[in-house]
A = this chain, B = another copy of it.
Amino acid sequence: MTGLADAAAPPAFGPTAAPRIVIVEDDAAMRDSLVWLVESVGHETLAYESADAFLAEARLPCIGCVVTDMRMPGTSGLGLIEKLRARQSLLPVVVITAFASVRDAVTAMQLGAVNFLEKPFHDQDLLDLLNDAVAETRDTARACCRARAAAERLETLTARELEVMRVMAEGLRNKEIARALDISPKTVEIHRQRALAKLEVGSAVEVHRLLETATDAAPCTAFRDFS
């Protein structure tokens, strides 16, 4: 029970899913050419003629990369990055544009774009970027899965149990936890024991790590809205 689908057929979800490259470009010829380029190396593509059309999707890809034009009707390339991040998507974005200003390039990079290519560009440059970006999404997706698994286990605890776990994860022993929470050491012992059983761990250190990984990737809400 790993939460992942069978290894036989690549799952449509999770870190091992097939990557999907999103092409956002208002010019049909350019869009087709990008789709052709990306599919020529075996990547699945999703093409949209505007950022808004892409953002209208209920579920965004999780493994993959966005390749977007800068100037388009409606939401711009920069706006797209902002709105993706607002939706907690960690999808990397490559901006390609014919009319680039340094300001826009700097802003895009500050918003977390992986690169900002000027047309015309070398096909291979884009493909190289995509490979790196996809690999990166796999790593973050893996981290998200771990974090989510940790968070889910923690959610099975009662409020009090979680409280005890938090104090215990600071390195205090039962007696000290009891003083900190102003309850009997015996009660602490009960909470502790039940919580450790629920979390399926055997030491304070493991609880500490569980709490850490759960909070580290807190923004990533287990691919809710992603796939």
User: Which residues on A are within 8 Å of B, measured CB to CB?
Assistant: 100-103, 105-106, 109-110, 115-116, 118, 168-173, 201-206, 208-209
Q: Which residue of B is nearest A212, CB measured?
A: B212
- Interface pairs (30), CB distance under 8 Å: A100-B102, A101-B102, A102-B102, A102-B105, A102-B118, A103-B118, A105-B105, A105-B106, A105-B109, A106-B109, A106-B116, A109-B109, A109-B110, A110-B115, A168-B205, A169-B205, A170-B205, A171-B202, A171-B203, A171-B204, A171-B205, A171-B206, A171-B209, A172-B203, A173-B203, A203-B204, A204-B204, A204-B205, A205-B208, A208-B209
**Alpha-carbon separation in the docked complex, A102 to B118 (Å):** 8
Q: How far is B172's CA from A169's CA once the two chains are assembled, in angstroms?
A: 15
Given B100, B106, B203, which contacts A115 in the complex, CB threshold below 8 Å?
A: B106
Contacts of A201 in B (CB 8 A): 171
Q: How far is the CB of A151 from chain B (nearest CB, A)?
A: 19
In the complex, chain B residues whose CB is within 8 Å of the CB of A116: 102, 105-106
Residues of B within 8 A of A209 (CB): 171, 208
Complexed CA–CA distance, A204 and B102 (Å): 51
* A204 CA / B171 CA spacing, docked (Å): 7
A102 to B115, CA, bound (A): 11
Distance in Å from the Cβ of A114 to the closest Cβ of chain B? 9
User: How many whole Å from A15's CB to the nearest CB in chain B?
Assistant: 24
Instruction: Report B-chain residues with C-beta under 8 Å of the C-beta of A171.
Output: 201-206, 209
Q: What's the nearest-Cβ distance from chain B to residue A13, in Å?
A: 31
Contacts of A206 in B (CB 8 A): 171
Which of A100, A101, A103, A208 gathers most chain B CB within 10 Å?
A208
Question: Contacts of A204 on B, CB cut-off 8 Å?
Answer: 171, 203-205
Residues in chain B near residue A173, CB distance under 8 A: 203
Contact residues in B for A202 (Cβ distance below 8 Å): 171
Q: How many Å lie between the Cα of A215 and that of B169 in the bound state?
A: 20
A121–chain B nearest beta-carbon distance, Å: 11
| Residues of chain B with a CB closer than 8 A to A205's CB | 168-171, 204-205, 208
10 nearest CB pairs, A to B:
A109-B109, A171-B205, A171-B203, A100-B102, A171-B206, A102-B105, A105-B105, A106-B116, A204-B205, A205-B208
